[in-house]
Structure 1
Amino acid sequence: MDKVVTLLAPGGIEHLQVSEQAPQAPGADEIRIRHDAIGMNFLDIYHRRGLYALPAYPAILGVEGAGTVEAVGSAVAGLKPGDRVAYAGAPVGAYAATRLLPVSRAVRLPASVPSKVAAASMLKGLTAYMLLTKTYRIEPGTIVLIHAAAGGLGSILVRWAKHLGATVIGTVSSEEKADLARSYGADHLIVGRDADVVAAVKALTKNGGVDVAYDGIGADMLAKSIASVRPFGVVATIGQAGGPIPPVAVDALRPGKSLTHPSIMAYITDTSAYLAATEVVVEMLAAGITATIAREYALEEAAEAQQFLEAGRAAGSLILVP
């Protein structure tokens, strides 16, 4: 029997229940993967709270993982038991020792990419790819503002943006996280939850503003992000880890600033887009552009891990290990 963590109903971590289930037989176009590691994302928190409702309850959370193919369906070609794979995106269901997965979501891993690294990095890598190449194409000399630059997504965004030749301004909550963000390549750090982000950005850019800001904090930070970009610059709002986002007045976008709200889950629903993006992401992981693993938890400690993630204490990514 395998361990599985089930969300009984939307709400707090007390609604997460650890139980056991027998490994399931894959359908014709499915594989069964035995997880080496399961990635955790703030999206899991949104799903648990019910901010983004799941189709039915009880439900199994989790949208990324990595491990070994254990069984394949009758119509599966190209993968066999023993192959190492990773995945990200829908359908949810990663908080389990084994799970069934549509073969179209499975991406073969090279030997140079450890499973734990892949599990921590796939969805964040896909998000970074979307943000840095689709939402706003980063080029040498682009000035970017990355909030939570030492976090799970922030660590890979900083590394990838520097790889593309950008100048990176990051925000972090502490000097400890500032040291981490510098190690990822950030050029400038704005430190402290109460820091005057707008004034600091204006000083660093000689009052010009950044070309693009990536904001997963939400709450009142989005208004600060909008004020920090140059005219005709772009702000991408990608989450609200700091709380709900107040309404944004159209006048706040003068003169000519753009506000976009990209969704990685929507973007990678299209199989061709997903496979094209994962090819690039796996190349980046093999080159060392990865998320940083801050902590590992046993699968049955998922509630504790979510509590730690939700509190904003993680300097990097969290993974669950069955």
Structure 2
Amino acid sequence: MHLHVAGAVAALVASGTYLAGPAQDVAWEEVSLTADAPKDWAHLIPDEEWFSINGPIFIGPFEFATAAKNETKILVATTAGGDPKAGVSVSGDILKLKGETSEGERFSYAIRVRGAANGGFEWSPAGIRTGTVEGKKVMLFDRNGNGIYNDLGQDAIAVGNSKGAALFGRVLMVDEQLFHVEVDEQGNTLRYRPYDGETGVIDVTSEFGLKADLESAIFSTAGGDMSFDLSGTKGEVRVPVGSYELTFAFVAKGSDTAKIARGKMELLPVTAEQGALLEWGSELAGAPMVRRGGAEVTISPEYRIYGNGGEEYYDFTPDPLPSQYEIKDAETDKRLKKGSLPSG
């Protein structure tokens, strides 16, 4: 990985400007959040979770009964405690669920349901809480599916028109401005105020070499206390000091897409005195998984593809992996065998 001191740091050191926002006595702004369920799912959630359906679906204290109709359809009760026969038949749909606590508090949620790769069905959270911060739409996601919207480093949050959702952390970035942020468990209210902690600069876009749209680039500190989608930034941007790692990224060029994981990428340390410039997204190279046993060589069609920053590319659409291989003598470079790998 190529990591450099970011260019603006010298000027920042000279001016002594390391803090963002006013002192801690600044009042919090409060925003009401509303439940939403999109018609189509286009959000990019880091390490999106899917849960097997082996009976009722439990979300917090609420239970939603299910009944498989056939191999491609399943009935889900849309009211907690209700009969699945009164539900709807789904296959890849977004379902709106509702319930009510013993105290009369209403619960609104949404899920996606699909067929599982090994048979049966699975579900993933699709409920969103939306509001507006500094004129920008903010969306909260119950990423871990427990009905709570403020799990640090577990739930997710997106700002504006970005497809990418960062992990929910203690600080929110809106138009490259930083804010302390708090949310209640039910996702009804969000509070924020200008961030007043120490900051440094990070640049993850200037030296991204792939000729594709970077639709999500989530960088987080350990545990997800600080997590930001930097895909829409241009050059240097200020973040709270800390050591950041790539949590998730997504690139697209037309119908060609790929996800990006940290892979071998090193941490990106950001301090008030020294920022970070990341070079990645070029010099992609594939390494096949090769096993040797005596005179026998086994080549798996599974490749690991890395970029120059150590990042790993996976889940390509369409599959770009090469089908041809050669085996050469390491000393003489003589070709011993040439063949094709099976597809799929």
TM-score (normalizing by structure 2) = 0.24
Give the structure with the higher percent strand. 2
TM-score (normalizing by structure 1) = 0.25
Give the structure with the higher percent helix. 1
The structure that has the greater radius of gyration is 2
